[in-house]
Amino acid sequence: MASAIRTEDLTKDYAVGFWRKRPYRALDRLTLEVAPGEVCGFLGPNGAGKTTTLKLLLQLIFPTSGRAEILGRPVGDVRVRRRIGYLPENPYFYDYLTAEELLTYFASLFGYHEPERRPSGGDVAIRQLHHLHDVRQR
């Protein structure tokens, strides 16, 4: 059975500095394996690479070297992306989209086809929250 999460020599360097850019290694050859059903947490001081690792696993940033898999597939695989979620610490929402349009847009990014993207009969949490029904149009 494939690992839930697997990384091999995962490394991330950032260019820092204004005039003379120099590399800063935020993650140095991380190799780990999390088995299915196992619970894993990231603990460490600031700058240890916890957030960088999560961003690499979600492909919000890309590695300098190394590789990562989730559920036995490369992290960018659409089938993997459909099965995971991410709630950023400081989310940003487009001001010009309604809540329903934003959800439809995100669904399209994750490869959902048109019939799957459209909310129907209370399938979307916004429609289930009757006291917040008018939020859809904000």
CATH number at residue 27: 3.40.50.300
Same domain, 15 and 54: yes
Q: 114 pLDDT band (50/70/90 cuts)? A: confident
Helix, strand, coil percentages, rounded to 5, for the chain: 30, 25, 50
* Residue that is written with structure tokens 């994750």 in the block: 110
Shared domain for 31 and 62, answered yes or no, is yes
- Residue linked to tokens 């439809």: 104
- Mean pLDDT score of the chain: 83
- For the chain, the residue count is 138
Q: Same domain, yes or no, for 74 and 32?
A: yes
Residue 66 lies in a domain: yes
**29 half-sphere exposure, CB direction, 13 A CA radius:** 0
Percent of residues, the chain, with pLDDT higher than 70: 83
CA dist 61 → 85, 103, 136 (Å): 16, 22, 31
Q: Residues 62, 27: one domain? A: yes
pLDDT number for residue 87: 77
Whether 104 and 77 share a structural domain: no
Judge whether 88 lies within some domain. Answer: no
Mean pLDDT of 78-98: 81
Give the range of the structural domain holding residue 114, as residue numbers without chain letter.
Answer: 99-137
- Please identify, among 38, 55, 81, the residue that sits at the C-terminal boundary of a domain: 81
- Predicted local confidence at residue 116, as pLDDT: 65
Whether residue 51 sits in one domain with residue 23: yes
- Is the pLDDT at 36 greater than 80? The verdict is yes
Mark whether 10 and 42 lie in a shared domain: yes
